[in-house]
Amino acid sequence: MLELCRRPLEMCFGKGSKDRLLWHMDLKPLHVSGDYSIAVVQANSSLEDQAQVFTSPSATFVGVYDGHGGPEASRFITKHLFSFLHKFTSEEGGISEQVIMKAFSATEEEFLHLVKQSWISRPHIASVGSCCLLGVISNNLLHVANLGDSRAVLGRKAQGGEGNCADVVAERLSTDHNVGVEQVRKEVEALHPDDAHIVVHTRGVWRIKGIIQVSRSIGDVYLKKPEFDNNPLFQRFVCPIPLKRPVITAEPSILMRKLMAEDLFLIFASDGLWEHLTDEAVVEIVFRSPRIGIARRLVRAALEEAAKKKEMIYKDLKKIEKGLRRHFHDDITVIVIYLDHSQDSLNAWSKNQGVYDCISTPVDIFSLNADEADL
């Protein structure tokens, strides 16, 4: 009888001290920069964050895809975006803003094709979308492209700095396409002068048509193709507000920057991290902490802040299982890339010249860790 009573509590709060919803890779060498570290913590019933790092002797590609409405769009991007980048880079002889634009557009079109094929039997697929953050390092140039509110931040030495923490500067490299930002809200309103309710404040935040916070994404087809709203069942169960024209886009913001000697590291992360930590706080943690496990350390710092907001401690928060965890924080994905070539990373690089490698985060962390426990 006691065993039967205990099981529901374990389902709700878990057991043991390990956070079974956290996956991490503490440190791995890159071929064209320094080392990198990845961590992701799952909060939703299905992990909606996905991420990947592709390394080669000539370039490094980093992707963070923060899904919403379900995991389908972020998983789709994981399977297609890098392939399109490779295709267009090969065709045009190198990475460029045009190549990135074409890769984003092709990914969007392929997902639209999938939705058109399956939405009658699966209406939900038309309302699934994902933010998309991409970083490319090649020939000492950095390209950052993004849709939505995942964010890339650079940590660099301030001019005249002596290496103290106060001399390290956080430089944001991406634009948050979120109507919670006043400038973005005004841009959306300017594009829809005939719609006084294009952005409304509901459930404590600003949302486009009261539905979505981000103004750019892959997917969210029902907000880009009004013809999907004609189905009465779709209107009833997915989108009760009929639209006359698209209200969000899939056109990324792209930044190109030459990497300088004072550039120390890059942080690519979904908004689950930035919801709890400022750019400056994240850069400070990376700068003053050991490299090994740095992404995991950032995730933990965010979780500690999330727990504090609920008057809890992380020790108790990490016992809560997926699904229920979403009431406390979002899925969080963090990738940290060091740019200053430690001697260890240079030695690893020299041993792995000509080697190609791709790391992707798990599809579901709870299932992965459960399998590891069984093994």
CA–CA–CA angle 85, 126, 364 (5° rounding) = 65
DSSP letters of 61-125?
A: EEEEEEEESSSHHHHHHHHHHHHHHHHHHHHHTS--HHHHHHHHHHHHHHHHHHHHHHTTT-GGG
Tokens coding 160: 């005249």
Question: Parallel, antiparallel, or unpaired for β 168-172 and 151-157?
Answer: antiparallel
Distances (CA, A) of 130 to 70, 89, 213: 9, 23, 12
Residue 189, classified by CB atoms within 10 Å of its CB into exposed (0-12), middle (13-18) or buried (19+), is: middle
CA distance 144 to 236: 39
Nearest to 60 by CA among 171, 134, 148: 134
pLDDT of residue 154: 98
The total of other beta-carbon atoms located within 10 Å of residue 143's CB is 20
Contacts for 72 with CB less than 8 Å, ≥ 6 apart: 125, 128, 219
Q: Rounded to a whole number, what is the distance in angstroms from the first to the last CA of the chain?
A: 29
* Range 225-230 contact pairs with CB under 8 angstroms and sequence separation of 24 or more: 225/112, 228/115, 228/119, 228/126
Angle at 27 between CA 61 and CA 59, to 5 degrees: 20
- Distance between CA 48 and CA 42 in Å, rounded? 8
Q: Which residues pair with 25 in a beta bridge?
A: 38
> Which positions of the chain have pLDDT values less than 70?
1-17, 31-33, 160-166, 229-241, 341-355, 366-375
The answer for residues whose C-beta is within 8 angstroms of residue 59's C-beta and 6 or more apart is 32, 95, 136, 137, 138
Give the model's pLDDT for residue 15: 41
**pLDDT at position 114:** 96
Q: Is 132 helix (H, G, I), strand (E, B) or coil?
A: strand
Give CA–CA dist 295/265, Å, rounded: 12
- Cross-strand bridge partners of residue 134: 63, 145
Please give the radius of gyration of the chain, using alpha carbons only, rounded to the nearest integer. Answer: 21
- Nearest CA among 65, 144, 132, 78 for reference residue 333: 65
Q: Which residue has the tokens 């719609």?
A: 195
- Using CA atoms, how far apart are residues 253 and 268, in angstroms rounded to an integer? 15
Report if pTM > 0.85. Answer: yes
Please name the residue that has the structure tokens 């992701």.
40
pLDDT of res. 353: 54
Output the CA–CA distances (angstroms, integers) from residue 307 to 15, 47, 328, in the order listed.
Answer: 18, 20, 7
